[in-house]
Amino acid sequence: MLEKMGTKFDPEEVIEEFEMLTKDAERVQKETLQKILEENASTEYLKKWGLNGRTDHESFKAFVPLVTHKDLEPYIQRMVDGDTSPILTGKPITTTSLSSGTTQGKPKFVPFNNELMESTMQIYKTSFVFRNREFPIGNGKALQFIYSSKQFKTKGGLAAGTVTTNVFSGSLFKNTMKAMRTQCCSPDEVIFGPDFQQSLYCHLLSRLIYWNEVQVVSSTFAHSIVYAFRTFEQVWEELYTDIREGVLTSQITVLSIRTAMSKLLKPNPKLADKIHKKCSGLSNWYGLIPELFPNTKYIYGIMTGSMEHYLKKLRHYAGELPLLSADYGSFEGWIGANVNPKLPPKLATFIVLPDIGYFEFITNVEVPKQDEIESSFLSIEPKTVGLTEVKVGEEYEIILTTFAGLYRYRLGDVVKVVGFHNSSPKLQFICRSNLLLTINIDKNTEKDVQLSVKAAGKLFSNEKLEVVDFTSHMDLSTEPGHYVIFWEVSGEAGDDLLRECSNCLDRSFVDVGYVGSRKVKAIGVLELQVLKRGTFQKILEHYVGLGAAVSQFKTPRVSSHKEESHWKLEKIMKVYSYL
């Protein structure tokens, strides 16, 4: 862990540490679990299950049940409300993280502590040394589209904020980034600004000021990068004027941001003319990023799972620049590092770091029915295997035990084991098992929805249109129920073409349960609804309004009718729907 490495950065030491940990992953896992259980032996939760100080993995699996967030929510809520007794962790928790709410429909809390911060830095360092070996960036700056929401105090006095807020605001993060010579172009006032649109504008402006120093363009998610350059298309002339005149647009009203940016912004007609010439000469904005920032070595961010939809547009902006997928983690904790950055995003693999948590894997993954998704303390627990017991070619659901009070926590992620690095498995992300369309005996995951949308979207190729974004849900208000796919399209599409797209969407779901149910009319005809331009921006603003950071936002691909925010989301989409 970084407590051993400090903030000093020696790439060879990082690689040596990584190789040592992965060569004997089984031993490291046992020691990691032992440390977690020893530190938290006095907790109410572990005492409840009669562990009585045992720290071996056999006892842990025998006594402590598999759980979902719903099972731990009452314990976490007591901590949020001010109960300082050892509930889930032996040491007091002073900070909690708040999820975006885009996965399960409402924001949720999990404890955040120094160990999670250290594991974050360990992942960052590990992937960076392998990435920098292939794509060295020297002392250049990073064009990082990162945003942080404000921390607030819970009823019980805990500091609460998004995961990104908790990470970005920490001194360990800043010191580690300095040690890795990864400097962000933007002032902290922009990163921590209260208005993300104003922050985004100033991120772009800062990058243009440092145009020849930018060597990396990155964000937490691919969506944020695409969103940033879609915005650039709309505001580049304002940016040009700001740089030419050296005066920040009056649209930026947050005083702290204005003050910080005024220190960077000076009249630069020569740079302004260069930007104008480049933007005026681009055809459909292809290759925009390398045109603006010619010293850029690669584009970096999470590009797997629900982010795959944005890869086509990101490739358009990136031109020939490499797209590198970032590491594999979740709101609850980190899992693995991408140490093979040359693989294209769709083939990205992640090596599990065996000392950042204790990992189990559910074998014979069975996608649950809708009413089983949030079941508590299953009467018959699925069989689990340890980190080094998984088999190449098999799919598993990840079970996570962390230093921050999550024990045998069903993460909901399904992964495929595609190999090993030393004795630690190499994973590919497949889908979220608890996000699915299911009406009868059908079970379609967000990945299935994504593949269906991709297939139907190809019908737009001759029309120079694209599916900007999408989501889906099950309409059970009629009998039989049916799938509804919502699209935002980049331009006008004719009725005949949309009907063809709708039919293609329906045909592209190959799940046996769906195909059979459609044949016997147990599921109705799929419905395609086209939304007005900007609808998904409204959805983004909706979740940001709930406290999500833009860096953490993921468009919900499947909206369950049982989710608390579903009706709010539906209201947004109905207001902006053409149909």
Q: What is the pLDDT of residue 303?
A: 92
| E strands present in 88-136 | 95-98, 109-112
pLDDT tens-digit readout, 411-446: 888 999 999 999 999 999 988 777 778 888 888 888
Identify whether residues 358 and 235 lie together within a single domain.
no
448 in the same domain as 399 = no
The answer to the question of residue 306 being in a domain is yes
475 near 562, Cβ under 8 Å?
no
pLDDT given for residue 187 in this prediction: 77
Please give the structure tokens belonging to residue 457.
């979207």
pLDDT of the residue at 178:
57
Strands (E), 444-518: 444-445, 467-475, 482-489
Are residues 303 and 349 both part of a single domain?
Answer: no
In terms of domains, do 398 and 451 share one?
no
* pLDDT confidence of residue 476: 86
Residue 81 lies in a domain: yes
Q: Are residues 207 and 249 in the same domain?
A: yes
Position 558 in a domain: yes
Eight-class DSSP state of 341: T
Q: Is the domain of 335 the same as that of 315?
A: no
pTM of the shown model: 0.84
Q: Which CATH number goes with the domain that contains 347?
A: 3.40.50.12780
* 375 within some domain: no
Q: Which residues make Cβ contacts (< 8 Å) with residue 138, sequence separation at least 6?
A: 181, 215
Instruction: Please tell me the predicted confidence (pLDDT) of residue 562.
Output: 46
Same domain, 235 and 175: yes
Domain count for the chain: 3
308 and 168, same domain (yes or no): yes
- 447 with 428, same domain: the answer is no
Instruction: Looking at the structure, tell me whether residues 168 and 257 fall in a common domain.
Output: yes
On whether residue 146 sits in a domain, the answer given is: yes
Domain closes at, from 391, 415, 432: 432
pLDDT at 566: 45
Report residues of the chain scoring pLDDT below 70: 1-8, 99-107, 139-142, 149-151, 161, 163-185, 364-379, 545-552, 560-579
CB of 191 within 8 A of CB of 168?
yes
Nearest to 72 by CA among 59, 84, 89: 89
**Burial class, 495, CB count within 10 angstroms (exposed 0-12 / middle 13-18 / buried 19+):** exposed
Domain contains 93: yes
Question: Does residue 372 lie in a domain region?
Answer: no
Residue 125 lies in a domain: no
- Domain residues for the domain of 59 are 14-114+330-366+383-432
Indicate whether 441 and 361 sit together in one domain: no
- For residues 222 and 351, state if they share a domain: no
